[in-house]
Structure 1
Amino acid sequence: MALHEQDREDLMREATALFPRAEFQVELPEAPLFWGQKKNGHFAFYFGSDPVYQFDQNAELRRAFIDGKIYRTQGSTLARLTRVHNSAESILQRYDLTETELKACLQAMTQRFQQLDLVWLDPQKVQMVQSLAECSDLDLRNLIHKQIRQVLQHSQQLAPRIRGKR
Structure 2
Amino acid sequence: MALHEQDREDLMREATALFPRAEFQVEQVNERLFWGQKKNGHFSFYFGSDPVYQFDQNAFLRRAFINGTLYRTQGNTLARLTRVHNSTESVLQRYDLTETELATCLQAMTQHFQELELVWLDPQKIQMIQSLADCSDLELQHHIYKQIRLVLQHSERLAPRIRGKR
TM class by shorter chain equals over 0.9
| 2-structure distance, mates of 1:59, 1:114 | 15
Root-mean-square deviation (CA, aligned residues, Å) is 0.9
One-letter amino acid of the structure 1 residue matched with residue 119 of structure 2: V
Q: Which runs of 5+ in 2 are unaligned?
A: none
User: Any residues of structure 2 matched to 1:78-157 within 5 Å, and which?
Assistant: 78-157=78-157
| 2-structure distance, mates of 1:16, 1:30 | 25
| 1-structure distance, mates of 2:28, 2:159 | 27
User: Any residues of structure 2 matched to 1:1-166 within 5 Å, and which?
Assistant: 1-2=1-2, 3-8=4-9, 10-166=10-166
Alpha-carbon distance change, 158 to 34 in structure 1, aligned in 2, over 3 angstroms: same
One-letter amino acid of the structure 1 residue matched with residue 52 of structure 2: V
Q: TM-score, normalised by structure 1?
A: 0.97
Deviations 1:98-152 (A, max 9, x none): 0000000000000000000000021221110000001000100000000000000
| 1-structure distance, mates of 2:74, 2:54 | 14
Count how many residue pairs are aligned between Structure 1 and Structure 2. 165
| 1-structure distance, mates of 2:33, 2:141 | 13
Q: 1:84: Cα distance to partner?
A: 0.5
Deviations 1:80-102 (A, max 9, x none): 00000111111000000000000
One-letter amino acid of the structure 2 residue matched with residue 63 of structure 1: R
| 2-structure distance, mates of 1:139, 1:31 | 23
Q: TM-score, normalised by structure 2?
A: 0.97
Q: Which runs of 5+ in 1 are unaligned?
A: none
Further displaced range: 118-127 or 56-65 = 118-127
Alpha-carbon distance change, 84 to 21 in structure 1, aligned in 2, over 3 angstroms: same
Moved over 3 A (4+): none
Q: 1:7: Cα distance to partner?
A: 4.2
